[in-house]
Structure 1
Amino acid sequence: MKPKISLKARLAYDDVAKGLADAGVVQGSMFGMPCLKIEKKMLGGLYGDAMTFKLPPEPREEALALTGAEHFDPGMGRPMKEWVVIPLEHSESWPKYAELALEFVSK
């Protein structure tokens, strides 16, 4: 079952999406959650009151050091190694990680 999304998380996610729109990032859906894509490649998504990001090694380790952050498991019992879930309490860092994810998936 998907976690519920609060209004605060949705608004923070929408701000991230708006900030990336000029770069060609569009909103979509994947794993049953709202997500951000560039050329059909997913770079991030909203999972409950957290955002997920596909990150390269160094930014991934930095993100995992944040309180409550963890590898993303979309409910299949197997975490995705390049994906990190960053809780709403760190939403001020979401734009930074979204930019890093965009760079990573655009290579």
Structure 2
Amino acid sequence: STLLRFLVSLPSLVLGALHQSLLLILTVPWCVAMILISLFLTGLRVVLYLLHMALVMGVVAVLTLMLHKKSDCDAVKQNEIKTTFHQMTLEDFARNANMRLSHKGAHG
């Protein structure tokens, strides 16, 4: 009867003694899973940050190129306006000079 009780209680004694060890053994996969999930989320955060930075840099580059292109077009337009103004000024000067010469010729 004592031997029978010992044999019946032996599994509970073994499980009681190994209880903490079994919990530790079961926590190892959980810890590994948590570490892997943490690494994955960190990598995802880094990738999203780099993607965001690339998008911002791309937009800045496009806007800068468009601004330079616009300023080049504006410079060409300003040069055309200046050229037209100078041509008109020269034509007015020549016309005024011709009028003076014709006035002098008529009065002189």
Pairwise same-fold verdict (TM > 0.5): no
> Hey, which of these two has a bigger chunk of helix by percent?
2
> Hey, which of these two has a bigger chunk of strand by percent?
1
Higher relative contact order (CA 8 A, sep 6+): 1
TM interval, short-chain normalised? under 0.3
TM-score, normalised via structure 2 length:
0.17
